[in-house]
Homo-oligomer: A and B are copies of this chain.
Amino acid sequence: MRNAQVETTRDSVGSAEAAGAGPTRRRLAPAERTPQILAAALEEFAERGYAGASMAAVAARAGVTKGLIYHYFPGKADLFKAVVRSCVQPVFSEAERFIAVFEGPKAELLRGLIEFAYARVAAERRERVLFKLIIAEADRFPELAAFYDAEVLSRALPLVRGVLRAGVEAGEFRPEVGDGAGLAPVLMAPATMASIWQMMLGEGRAPDLAAMREAHVDLVLRGLLRPGAPLG
């Protein structure tokens, strides 16, 4: 009973690399092997958490032996940080491009951003799980918390604040909106929590994504727009 899930899962892991294809010992360039290992590690960390993940299992998932992992990464902690680092970046490039390209009322831009966030939540499970991982391990890895601060929060909040300020300047939002620093995190929180609930409870029991998105957009626009402005 003790480690039943672990055992049974381990058997069924045999990755594409390990199964059949090619000779047992194929030499690859580091530029090719590294992402393989990172992908395997992401899966393993996501499923078992940091302490629960085993280097041997990561190796097995990558179709490789444990020793090789240590050829590429000094240790478990470094591997973990490398995994996180390799995953967070693309999301922001996308959001930043979205804002840069957008033309039209700021209220619509804000609605677009909110819907973008919910869409991402609905889309890839990987991101949700990785976010959970960061939350779970943040206080055991001070550098990881600092990394989240630097690469996620400190990037996302100014993005939102920029949109708010632009909306005020355009005369769309109430002037007071530009004042407080507290509004940006309040606006981000619901989509973020939606991600967490989704990850914890699955689509069945978690609060409905679409319903939250509608209520969120409605609440925000009503709260921000100048009185009398149309809701679009």
Question: Which residues of chain A have a CB within 8 Å of any CB of chain B?
Answer: 48-52, 132, 134-140, 145, 148-149, 153, 157, 180-186, 188-190, 192-194, 196-197, 199-202, 205, 207-208, 210-216, 218-220, 222-224, 227
Contacts and interface: CB of A to CB of B under 8 A. Distances in A.
Provide the main secondary structure of the chain A interface.
Answer: helix
Given A51-B51, A153-B205, A186-B212, 13 more contacts: A49-B51, A135-B200, A138-B200, A181-B207, A182-B211, A182-B212, A182-B216, A186-B215, A186-B219, A192-B193, A219-B220, A222-B222, A223-B223
B215 A149 contact: no
A197 B51 contact: no
A48 B188 CA distance: 29
A139 B198 CA distance: 11
A197 B219 contact: no
Interface centre among A136, A182, A197, A202 (most CB of B within 10 A): A182
A193 to B, nearest CB: 4
Given A149-B201, A181-B211, A190-B190, A140 B52 contact: yes
Contacts of A218: 223
Given A49-B51, A211-B181, A216 B186 contact: yes
* Ranked 6 nearest A-B pairs via Cβ: A182-B211, A136-B136, A182-B215, A189-B193, A51-B51, A185-B207
Nearest to A144: B200
18 contacts: A48-B51, A49-B51, A51-B52, A132-B136, A135-B196, A139-B200, A149-B201, A149-B205, A180-B215, A181-B208, A181-B211, A182-B215, A183-B219, A185-B194, A189-B190, A196-B196, A218-B223, A219-B219
Contacts of A210: 182
Contact of A145 (B194, B200, B213): B200
A178 to B, nearest CB: 12
Contacts of A149: 201, 205
